[in-house]
Structure 1
Amino acid sequence: MDHIPRLSDAVYVGLCHEIGSPTEVRIRREVMDIEEEVRRPVNIMRGFEQMRSGSRREGFRLRTSDEDWMCWPPGHKVICDLSQISLYRIPQHTVIFMECDDRPPGFTRLELISPSNDPIVNFSCVLMNDEFYISSTLFRDKHLQHLRSSNVFYASSFNHGPCATYVAVDKEADVAFCVQSQHWPTKALPWIQRCRQQGWLSEVVISDILRAGFHVVPIGSTPDDTMEWRISFSKAEQKLVYSMNHCQFLCYGLFKIFLKEVINFKNNTPILCSYFIKTCIFWLIQNRNSLTWSPDNLLSCFWECFKLLIHWVHIGECPNFFIPENNMFRVKVTGSVQALTFSHLFGCVSDILFLAMYLYGDCRYEHSLHYLQEEQERLSQSNTGIMYNHYAFLDRQCMTEMPLGKKLKTVVIKDITLFYKHIYIRELELEQRMSEKNNMPVLIIPPLVMLRMLFTLNHHKLRDTVRSQQSLQDLHTLLLYDSDNVPTESRDISWQILDDEPEITSDLKEFHSEPELEEEREEPEMDELELESSENLGPVYRRPYN
């Protein structure tokens, strides 16, 4: 485990070269902030306001960094409450009311309260219940039409979500035509209190975010809803990224690279996007106060982010950071797409077993079983390859030469390595102590043994005696007849685990049920009568416990 901090430090240095040092990132942001302020009066005279968004505005200069813009008509003010209409002067200002009743969280309809002098806004109005509402579809399509006709450079533009996409210097660029609000949406008010309770962010940053307001972009919660608009917090998200320390920023950048180069590699229709990655980082920073965001812990932080993403894909939920009720996976990551995406993330059964172990220790037995069942199903699929090598040494040449498509379909299995400094689950605490006593820094358990053990424990905690007994029988069969997946050097601990588990089926007592572990098992002397010989299994024995 001591090599992880050194490796993390090395990765941190490499990312500083690839993504940028703290000074480089700060200068990039300041230049873009100044450029935006200088251009703002000129843009208003031309009839629009704009701001950069996306990766470049956040401070990245990766090869895949996108060029995103947001544009909106000046003088058009979105209000969240009708009482806010008194803050504006009509007809100098066009007032638009957000109608969120009976809308999915994070979405709204826009009612035009006062006349607009913008021809596209007027063209997009639809009469409903004697009131004028702005159609998101008409607004988006009309802006695309206007963009195409404005310059031959934009002639090939096309709609992509709420944006108009065009190609600029061999890269795609997005421009979102939208409307702005200088208030804060009612649905996002709990976010303010959450930030103060969790200690991220400072009051200065929170106040700055609230003053900046939000935008509403022309896209509905479903493709066929032509009147809905989505609440966008792009300006607030930019300030959140600015408030990250450099290790957090680099972890975010590493995650973006991993998404592009591994998860979505050669995928023309990727399911997961960088916005999900950013949301994952935000939630982790806010909720995991115990996580140390430092260069020597960079890889551990990345792994925590990745585990959270896996968990979200598995349960089909990606809560918006500002309005958690808005599940951003609701339409895109469901059904077979969700199952396929989950099966593609990491591909290592052993890592998923750690996640299942964590959920078991957190008393989330049903969730733990879900992960175990998913992995068991993957192992049983005939079209899935299995790569196993004891003590975690994989055939690197084989994996390097293997096409990515085959890699993603290959289940990698490696031994479960438990370090004695950490108690993973209470049921293995004594085994870890004995490993330490015998000057062994780690306790190594074959992955399929751990899989069966966790099945047994979870079923027992849920008082499912039948399935608990069946899992024990499966473990016993595995040890007797599967010498490939339970090597000779691992059979001692494997039989010891099996010997512990009959307590569940015989008297339904929990493993090592003493509240305080006062005594450790003594290493018993082997009696010849206790030895069992098998041509395939090698010498194995069952330990009698005091």
Structure 2
Amino acid sequence: MSESVFVRMCQIVGTSQQVAIRRETEDIGEVVERRVTPNDGLIEMISGSLREGFRLKGSDVDSMYWSNNHRVIMDMSQSEYYNTANTTLILSDSTESPPGFTLLQLLTPTTDREVHSACVRMNDKVYISSSIYRQLTCSAAIANSTVHGPCGSGVLGSKEYDTAFCFVSDIWPLSASSWTDSCHSWPDPEVVDDIVRNGCHFVAIGHSLGPQENEEWRISFSRAEYKLVSSMNHCQFLIYGLLKLFLKEVMNQQSEETNKLLCSYHMKTTVFWAIQQNTLPQWCPQNLLAGFWVCFKLLLRWVYEGVCPNFFIPLNNLFLTKVHGSAQNRLFLQLHGLYKKGLACLLQSSSIRSYIIDVLYKPRLSICTDESTMRSEFDYDVELVRESKKAISHTADLCGHTNAIHTIEQLLESPLTHYQVVTLQNLTTSLFRNTAFQSHNTFMYTNTGVNKQMYIADKTFCHMLKLAAKFGCISDMLYIAMYYYKTLRYREALFVMEMTKVKLAQPYLMHEEHVDRARYTEAVGGQSWSTKIRQAVAVDIVLYNEICYISELIPEQQSALQNRDTTLIIPVFVMLHFLEFLCYRHIDTTLSQAALDELQVLVHHDQGLYISNLSREISWEILGICQQITGNLQAALYSYQQSLTQDPFQNIHAATKKRIHDIVGTN
């Protein structure tokens, strides 16, 4: 029996409910983004292990981007499906390319600067060069990225990221047409139909052994793979997770010569083939280790043969460029050495070693596999707050779209899970907030100052912000205070902040995963999600950089925008004291100084409870702004210098340096 390993893998990877929260919140955010992105817009899709539902330490953040008005077709007859007046057509030409790769021929004119610049002429036809396009788009999503495979890579905060600019096709590739015939037992026909109906992508990297490496593109089945992983039962998903752990903690630790030969994609491919080939009668918790062993033996055979067949295009050997010759032999000997140890080879995995000991030496040990005993209602609440917040952050560009609310209304009439309803609710509050501020800015810029019109407009904007606060969490009240400050109603702003402070002082407050579990459960356990979020949840303040909320932060927002960063994320307690300071300046200088003192104590002495490492940069910056406003230039200079030493997560360094220059210039 291997139930103890099942429990441990649920602790590491997540229970089925946690994984469902992660997938479903991202799914619904993606649906909204797709529906409201204009024809000439850019679509983002989170991919890789994060998208699949893993939250393993050290995992990369993988994203794919493509132009909504560019489409790849597989033959010329498919051009009739598209309006070439607003869609650029690209033809996949794989006649001379290795399996899994293709050339992309530009058929119609493009307005995309990078695509146009990447065009090369071959045999009197125009093709898009993958190598040129890759170089041109490497830093398009995040500045200062470096080329890694088909992606732009780097580190943002504590996370490594890979961003791939690619092309999309609504049509399933001809080279993978036989795949549908092989799906007899898995996945289900509905999943197969869904996969085929959603086509594929093309990422900017050619086959390294081919004659046209610089021009070729690789066919990516990232979306199809996500559908396959989602169709796994939880035991199969845990086996996939165990293989990823085993790769990182055991296989890649054997020697420096071989630790780059295998990757997580090989593990995923192994699981896909093992499930489809019916290598295990039952994929259930009791057979978790048996499933792992089946996959490991399949991988060992592939390494011996030097062939790892792509799941969709088996003729595409994923080992072709790395696992061959002497490197292949060394890798096989190392894996065979692990194989001879049997399941005891898992003792080398630091994450599950103690649980494997139980299985090996206490074979009769039986531990309950009921997931309800592994996680509480509280744990799922924490997961839902975190994941719905992430899903909303990926739809940052939606706040300017007037049809976004209408799209959400339509979605609410369709079948949705509880987690998706919560995500849509949070997205709606975000849209209300940002529409109110954006509309106010536009109105003040275009209106000549008719009092009645201003009064009606102001009432509408206030109503939207109050609606957002009614359906949102505690920290959403601070957006009302921001609006009152922006419109010079300082006493009203302070009144809202006093109410907010009372709620933020509750001992059961959940703030960015910091919470007293027992008190939270006692206060709101068993209640509706709407009650929980209104009474017990606070998150950091998100300002979209194309919208002016507080004029004092315009330089920081502009600095971030220059680096293609769409948001500023400000700790809720930092924003509270900042707003108090700004408002009291116009009412009571003593209380204004008291608010500044509280902010200073918070920024100087917080140990991560209220200010995360990634938020220290903006927190020191805001403290410096307040000190500079009061005329304490020496203290402000120190705060700005401290801001420059923090993790540059928010890309505000240009603003900080400008503020330092202004201070030094006045002395």
Q: Give the structure-1-normalised TM-score.
A: 0.60
Is 1:324 the counterpart of 2:314? The answer is yes
Q: Which residue of 1 aligns with 2:190?
A: 204
8 Å contact from structure 2 (residues 245, 349) kept in 1: no
| Segment drifting more, 289-298 vs 131-140 | 289-298
Q: 1:270 Cα deviation (Å)?
A: 1.5
Change in 2 beyond 3 A, CA 1:275/1:44: farther
CA contact (8 A) 2:72 2:91 kept: yes
Give the letter aligned to residue 107 of structure 1.
Answer: F
From the superposition, tell whether residues 243 and 146 of structure 1 become closer, same or farther in structure 2 (CA, over 3 Å): closer
- 2:204 alignment partner, one of 203, 218, 221: 218
Match of 1:259 among 244, 247, 250: 247
Distance across 1 between alignment mates of 2:14 and 2:150: 30
Unmatched segments (≥5 aa) in structure 1: 148-153, 353-391, 402-546
CA distance in 1, matches of 2:117, 2:130: 11
Kept in 2, the 8 Å contact 1:120–1:143? The answer is: yes
Higher share in helix: 2
Residue of 337, 340, 351 corresponding to 2:327: 337
Alignment of 1:19-34 (within 5 A): 19-34=13-28
Conservation of the 8 A alpha-carbon contact between 1:91 and 1:115? no
Partner of 2:112: 118
Is the Cα–Cα contact under 8 Å of residues 40 and 67 in structure 2 kept in the other structure? no
CA distance in 2, matches of 1:93, 1:171: 35
Q: CA deviation at 1:400?
A: 11
Q: CA deviation at 1:349?
A: 6.8
8 Å CA contact 1:43–1:50 kept in 2: the answer is no
Name the counterpart of 2:78.
Answer: 84
Residue identity matched to 1:71: Y
Note the C-alpha offset of 1:339: 1.2
1:176 counterpart residue number? 164
Q: In the alignment, which residue of structure 2 is the partner of 1:128?
A: 122
Matches within 5 A, 1:484-495: none
Alignment CA distance shift 1:145-1:54 (3 Å): closer
When residues 49 and 227 of structure 1 are mapped into structure 2, their CA distance, relative to the original with a 3 A threshold, is: same
Partners of 2:249 and 2:349 within 8 A in 1: no
Q: Contact 2:139–2:152 at 8 Å: present in 1 too? A: no
Aligned residue in 1 for 2:45? 51
Paired residue type of 1:292: Q
User: Cα offset for 1:262?
Assistant: 1.0
Q: Say whether residues 1:306 and 2:300 are aligned partners.
A: no
What amino acid is aligned across from residue 325 of structure 2 in structure 1?
G
Q: 1:349 to 1:203 in 2, by over 3 A?
A: closer
Q: Distance in 2 between matches of 1:82 and 1:189?
A: 18
Identify unmatched segments of 5+ residues in structure 2: 351-667
Distance in 2 between residues matched to 1:74 and 1:350, nearest whole Å: 51
Paired with 1:221 and 1:43, the residues of 2 have a C-alpha distance of 33
| Residues 206 and 218, structure 2, Cα contact 8 Å, conserved in 1 | yes
Structure 2 counterparts to residues 275-314 of structure 1, below 5 A? 275-288=265-278, 290-314=280-304
Q: CA deviation at 1:34?
A: 1.6
- Aligned residue type for 1:101: T
Q: Is 1:138 matched with 2:149?
A: no
Superposed displacement of residue 44, structure 1: 4.2
Q: 5 Å matches for 1:487-526?
A: none
Q: Helix, strand or coil for the counterpart of 1:159?
A: strand
Q: Does 1:185 align with 2:173?
A: yes
- 1:42-69 Cα shifts (integer Å, max 9, x gaps): 6547731110001111011111322100
How far apart are 1:14 and its partner, in Å?
1.2
- CA distance 1:253–1:39, change in 2 (3 Å): same
CA distance in 1, matches of 2:265, 2:280: 24
Partner in structure 2 of residue 381 of structure 1:
none
Q: Distance in 2 between matches of 1:290 and 1:337?
A: 31
Change over 3 Å in CA distance of 1:324–1:258 after alignment to 2 = same
State the secondary structure of the residue aligned to 1:140.
helix
| Secondary structure of 1:321 counterpart | coil
Secondary structure of 2:310's counterpart equals coil
User: SS at the partner of 1:77?
Assistant: strand
State the distance in 2 between where 1:46 and 1:117 align.
9
Go from structure 1 to structure 2 and tell me whether the alpha carbon gap of 1:194 and 1:215 turns closer, same or farther (over 3 Å shift).
same
1:454 maps to what in 2?
none
Q: Is the 8 A contact 2:145 2:152 kept in 1?
A: yes
Match of 2:263 in 1: 273
Larger radius of gyration: 1
Contact 1:105 1:325 in 2 (8 A): yes
Q: Provide, for residues 366-424 of structure 1, a one-character-per-residue CA deviation record: whole Å limited to 9, x for no partner.
A: xxxxxxxxxxxxxxxxxxxxxxxxxx999x9xx999xxxxxxxxxxxxxxxxxxxxxxx
Matched, 1:232 2:226: no
Q: Whole-Å Cα distance in 2 between the matches of residues 47 and 292 of structure 1?
A: 46
Structure 1 residues 400, 139: CA separation in 2 closer, same or farther (over 3 Å shift)? closer
Once the two structures are TM-superposed, the CA of residue 344 in structure 1 deviates from its matched residue by 1.8
Verify the 8 A CA contact 1:29 1:57 in the aligned structure 2. Answer: yes
Counterpart AA for 1:279: T
Would you say the 8 A contact 2:40–2:68 is kept in 1? no
1:244-301 alpha-carbon deviations (Å, 9 max, x no partner):
0000000000000111111113859611000000000000000125432111111011
* 1:315 aligned residue: 305
Match of 2:88 among 63, 83, 94: 94
For 2:173 and 2:337, locate their aligned partners in 1 and report how far apart those are by CA, in whole Å. 40
CA distance in 1, matches of 2:54, 2:84: 41
CA separation of 1:400 and 1:26: change in aligned 2, threshold 3 A? closer
Q: Summarize the Cα distance change of 1:348–1:92 in structure 2 as closer, same or farther, 3 Å threshold.
A: closer
Percent of pairs with identical residues: 47
Please say if 1:71 is aligned against 2:65.
yes
Identify the residue that residue 655 of structure 2 maps to in structure 1: none
Aligned to 2:337, what secondary structure does the other structure show? Answer: coil
Paired letter, 2:192: I
Say if 1:106 and 1:231, in contact at 8 Å, map to a contact too: yes
- Match of 1:194, as an amino acid? S
Alignment of 1:61 with 2:55, yes or no, is yes
| Number of aligned positions between the proteins | 345
Segments ≥4 residues shifted beyond 6 Å: none
Which amino acid counterpart does residue 227 of structure 1 have in structure 2?
E
Does structure 2 retain, via aligned residues, the 8 Å contact 1:12–1:298?
Answer: yes
Aligned-partner Cα distance in 1 for 2:272–2:117: 38
1:285 alignment partner AA? I
